[in-house]
Structure 1
Amino acid sequence: MADKDERGRAGEARAARHLEQAGWRVLARNWRCVHGEIDIVAERGDEIAIVEVKTRRTRRFGHPLEAITPRKLTRLRYLAIAWVMANPERAWGRQVALHAVAITGDDPDTGALEHLEHLQ
């Protein structure tokens, strides 16, 4: 379990670096509320991104993004609303979008990274 947790933290750190290199400013990592946790909240221009990060060693059980089911997307939408309600001054007049970052490989720092924006 500790290895899985460490892998997840390393994946989130890599995703945050990737976002920053792509011009995003990370506002929060592991933001929590009673409804759950958002891995990363970032901003760029007039957009706020609620980012789900999935890190896997292999694709043996499917692509990491396959873990973002319709149920998970619904939960992410509720979390996005909760974040906006907790941060109205930051969210005012801005688009809030769901993003996902998938990292696959033995080492999260060097594995394949995919960033999907504007999940439906």
Structure 2
Amino acid sequence: MKAERPDTRKLKALKRGHIAEYRAALCLMLKGYRIVAMRYRTRLGEIDIIARRGDLVACVEVKARVSLEDAVFAVTDTAQRRIRAASDLWLSRQGDFHRLSVRYDIVAVTPWRWPRHLPDAF
């Protein structure tokens, strides 16, 4: 009996997503952000990147799409709610949460372009 081969399309999409997240993290670091967490998972949801610059915490959703518009529209209301819920949980675990301000950003990663950072996207 042969073992089933993993779906290569899913593996390629996963790899493409991880590469996009690393490109987005590099973009943010060059803008002066410190990457606090990548792929932060909770029972409530997942945040692709948590970045910090001073007292500002940016919860970043990374989308690899063909165009900027496709990337922005790919962040649905449901995804936004899950990211906000996960960020609330992350913030509650920080010792200095009372002085932090939170912002929700999108980084759109498109082919052959530098990642586009959209601060305060939702």
* Number of residue-to-residue matches in the alignment: 112
Choose which of 96, 100, 105 in structure 2 pairs with 1:94. 100
TM-score (structure 2 length as normaliser): 0.84
Percent of paired sites with the same residue: 33
**Structure with a larger share of its residues in strand:** 1
C-alpha displacement of 1:90: 4.3
Task: Work out whether 1:68 is the aligned partner of 2:75.
Answer: yes
C-alpha displacement of 1:68: 0.9
Show the counterpart of 1:44: 53
SS at match of 2:81: helix
Q: Return the alpha-carbon distance in structure 2 between the equivalents of residues 73 and 111 of structure 1.
A: 25
Amino acid at match of 1:85: S
Task: Work out whether 1:14 is the aligned partner of 2:27.
Answer: no
Structure 1 runs (4+) greater than 3 angstroms displaced: none
CA shift digits 1:56-104 (9 cap, x unpaired):
2x24xx6111111222212211111011122x21433010111110111
Show the counterpart of 2:113: 111
Q: Return the alpha-carbon distance in structure 2 between the equivalents of residues 84 and 14 of structure 1.
A: 25
Task: Work out whether 1:31 is the aligned partner of 2:40.
Answer: yes
Q: Return the alpha-carbon distance in structure 2 between the equivalents of residues 7 and 17 of structure 1.
A: 15
CA shift digits 1:23-80 (9 cap, x unpaired):
0000011111111211100100210010100012x24xx6111111222212211111
Listed as ranges, the gaps of 5+ residues in structure 2 are: 1-9
Q: Return the alpha-carbon distance in structure 1 between the equivalents of residues 96 and 39 of structure 2.
A: 17
Listed as ranges, the gaps of 5+ residues in structure 1 are: none
C-alpha RMSD over aligned residues: 1.5
Computing the radius of gyration from Cα coordinates, the structure with the larger value is 2
